[in-house]
Amino acid sequence: MNVCIAGAAGDGVRGAGTILGRIFSELGYHVFVYQEYQSLIRGGHNASVVRASLKEINSYSYHYDALICLRDYVFEKHADRLRGLLISDSSLNLNYDPKLEFPIAETVKELGLPDISRNIAAIAIFCRSVGVERGVVEEVIKEELGKRGEENLRIVGKVYESLDLSAEVGRVERVGEKKELVSGARAIAEGMLAAGLKFYYAYPMTPASPILHILAADSRCVALQPENEIAAIMMAIGSAFGGERAAVGTSGGGFALMSESISLAGMAEVPVLIILAQRSGPSTGMATYTAQQDLYFALNPAHGEFPLIVASPITIEDSYRLAGELLNLAWQFQTPAILLTEKHITESLATAKLEGVVKREVEIFREKGELFKRYAITESGISPYAAPPAIFKANSNEHDEYGFATDDAETATKMYAKRMRKEEEIRRVVANLNPYVVVKNGKDWIVTWGSNFGAVKEVAEELGFSVAAIRYMRPLFLPKISGNVFCVECNYTGLLARLIEAEGVEVKRILRWDGRPFTPEEVREEVEKWSG
C-alpha cells in the first residue's frame, strides 16, 4: 500500500507521514517513508509518501493507493499518480471519485484544537477507512507526540465515532510483530555512537542537520554547533588529537569549506569521519531535494595525495553499519574517511534493525615521558598513535618520525611513501567488508549506488536482471559484470558509469537530476525503453 499525504509547509505533513509510517510498522509491516518539501517555513507544497509491504522495501512507489489532501491546490500535483481513494476536507470540493470527505477543519475548530491537528484528523480518517483499530492509532500518536498527543486523541475519537462509512474501503490488519521505524539520520548517528563516537561538530546544513539534532539530544556524546564548517572539522581534528573519536556532518557547500582541513588531517594522520549528505547543486541548487552529484568531489576532496576512505550506504539499515565501519576504519588507519550519503537516505524513514556495529579498539599511547615517535616508519604505514599526556608533535608540514618539520628530500620521500602504503592496507581490509552487494537474477546487470538500490532491486527481480550496488568508492571494488549493463544514478553525466567505463565495460545510463529519487516504476520504464 502506498499512501501520499500532501499539503503546505506548516500543515504537519512530515509529522503525519511519520505517524502513519509508525502505525504500519506497529502492525508488523515493512515501511518506507519519503519526505518531499520546499525550503519554506509556511505555504508551498509538502508531501510525505508512506509505503507499507509484507516484503522488505527500500523505496516508495509512483502510484498511490490513497491520497490525503490537506489543501485543494496540491491535488493537481498528485492527481495523475492516484489509483485509489482520495481523502479530503468536505470544504475543498475536489473533483475525483472515489472520494472520502469529512469536515476536518470544522471539527478541529469545534474541538478547540490548533489548525495543525487537521493532519491527525486526516490520518484517523484513513485508518478508520481501512479498518485499523482505534487503539493502535491512539497509542502511536501518544508515543510520537507525548503530551501534545493527548489532546489530539479527541479528534481521533471524533473521527472514529462519526465517520460515515457504509463499508470499509480496504483492510489493513496486523501481520506480525512491531518493527522499528528509523530515519537515515538516526541510523547514521547510532552507527557512529556504537563505534565509539564522543564528539560531533556540525554547522546546520540540509540534509545533514537531522544528525546534529539527534546527537544534541543524546547523552552518549557531545554535539556542538560552532560558527562555521571550518571550525567544525578543526574541532573534530582537535578531539582526535586528544584521543577521542569525533565526526562532522555537512552537505556540498560546507564540505567545500572543510577542504583544507581534510588535507591537514591527511598530512597529520589524524582520524576524522566526515558525513557528506548530498543535495541538489551546484551552490545552493535545490537545498531540500536529493542528488548524487558529489561523487568525484568526495573522491578528491582536498589538495595533495593522502590515504582516504569513501563509502556510500545503499539503505537506511546500511547507513548504520557503514557509519560505524568508517569511524572504526578512520581510527585503524589514522586518516580521514567520508560517508557519502544523500537527502533521500538521511531524511527518509524505513523499518530497520540497527545491530552489529561495535567499537574496534585502537591502541593509544597516553604516558607522559620522552618525546614520542608519533610518525615512526612502519611496513604497513600505520604508526603508533598517541594522545595527551603523552608528549608528541602533530604537524601539517612534511615532518620526520617525531613530527618535526622538514624539507629534507630523503626524509620527505620516506614519510610520503609511509603514508601512502596505508592505501594498500586499506584495500586489503575493505576487500573483506562487502565493498559491493550483488543480487543475481540474470545475465544482464543493473549497477547503481546509494538510495537507488531500493527501486533497482525491485525492478531487477521483476525483469530478471542481476544487481550490483557499489558501497565502497575508494578503494573502489567492482564485481565481474557482463551482458547488457545499465547504470542508475541521480546526476546528469553518470559519475559511477564513468568509473565503470574506465574498466572497459560499456554502460547504458539511466539518469535523473530533478531532485527526486527513482521509484521502481520509473526505473522499469527506462530499462524497458533501453531494452527496446
Residue 112's domain is classified under what CATH number? 3.40.920.10
Q: Is 173 inside a domain boundary?
A: no
**Rounded alpha-carbon distances, angstroms, from residue 477 to 269, 434, 458, 473:** 24, 9, 23, 7
pLDDT tens-digit profile of 453-484? 999 999 999 999 999 999 999 999 999 999 99
**Do 21 and 97 have their domain in common?**
yes
**Residue 151: Cβ-neighbour burial (10 angstroms; 0-12, 13-18, 19+):** middle
Q: How far is CA 498 from CA 47, 88, 439, 444, 502, in A?
A: 34, 47, 22, 19, 6
- Report residues of the chain scoring pLDDT below 50: none
* Judgement on whether residues 302 and 188 belong to the same structural domain of the protein: yes
Question: How many residues does the structure list for the chain?
Answer: 532
Question: What is the domain-level CATH number for residue 336?
Answer: 3.40.50.970
Domain tally, the chain: 4
Kindly state the helix (H) or strand (E) to which residue 428 belongs, with its residue range: helix 409-430
Contact predicate 48/17, CB 8 Å: yes
Residue 413's CB is within 10 A of a number of other CB atoms, namely 11
Going by the DSSP 8-state scheme, the letter that residue 382 receives in this structure is P
Count of Cβ atoms closer than 10 Å to residue 84 Cβ: 15
**Which triple of cell numbers denotes residue 467?**
544487481
Does residue 15 fall inside a structural domain? Answer: yes
Q: For residues 305 and 420, is the Cβ–Cβ distance under 8 A?
A: yes
CATH number for position 499: 3.40.50.920
Residue 315 half-sphere exposure, CB side, CA atoms within 13 Å? 24
Please tell me the predicted confidence (pLDDT) of residue 487: 98
Asked if residue 467 and residue 409 are part of one domain, the reply reads no
Q: Which amino acid is at 505?
A: V
pLDDT digits (tens, 9 = 90+) for 394-415: 999 999 999 999 999 999 999 9
The position carrying cell 565493498 is: 435
Pairing, β 364-365 against β 385-386: parallel
242 close to 387: Cβ distance less than 8 angstroms: yes
**Helix or strand run (H / E) with residue 240:** helix 229-241
Q: Which of 373, 403, 431 is at the close of a domain? A: 431
Rounded-to-integer distance, Cα 35 and Cα 290, Å: 10
Are residues 148 and 291 both part of a single domain?
no
Q: What is the 3-state secondary structure (H, E, C) of 309-371?
A: EEECCCCHHHHHHHHHHHHHHHHHHCCEEEEEEEHHHHCCEEECCCCCCCCCCCCEECCCCCC
Clarify whether residues 158 and 306 are in a common domain: no
Distance CA 366, CA 107 (A): 66
Last residue of a domain, one of 162, 192, 218: 162
Residue 376 and residue 488 in one domain = no
Is the residue at 128 inside a domain?
yes
User: 306 and 374 share a domain?
Assistant: no
Q: For position 149, what pLDDT does the model report?
A: 83
CA distances from 211 to 151, 296, 500 (A): 29, 23, 32
Whole-structure pTM value: 0.97
Q: How many helices (H) and strands (E) does the chain have?
A: 18, 22
Burial class, 293, CB count within 10 angstroms (exposed 0-12 / middle 13-18 / buried 19+)? buried
* 235: its cell numbers: 574541532
Q: With contact defined as beta carbons under 8 Å apart, do 257 and 205 qualify?
A: no
Please indicate, yes or no, if residue 174 is contained in any of the structural domains. no
Full residue range of the structural domain in which residue 397 is found: 364-431
- Residue 168: inside a domain: no
Q: How far apart are CA 220 and CA 193, in angstroms?
A: 7
pLDDT of residue 168: 65
For residue 531, the model assigns a pLDDT of 76
| Co-location of 198 and 332 in the same domain | yes
Burial class (CB in 10 A: 0-12, 13-18, 19+), 337: buried
CB contact burial 242-252 (16+ within 10 A = b; e otherwise): ebbbbbbbbbb
Supply 341's cell numbers: 550519503
Instruction: Report the alpha-carbon distance of residue 532 to residue 161 in Å, rounded.
Output: 54
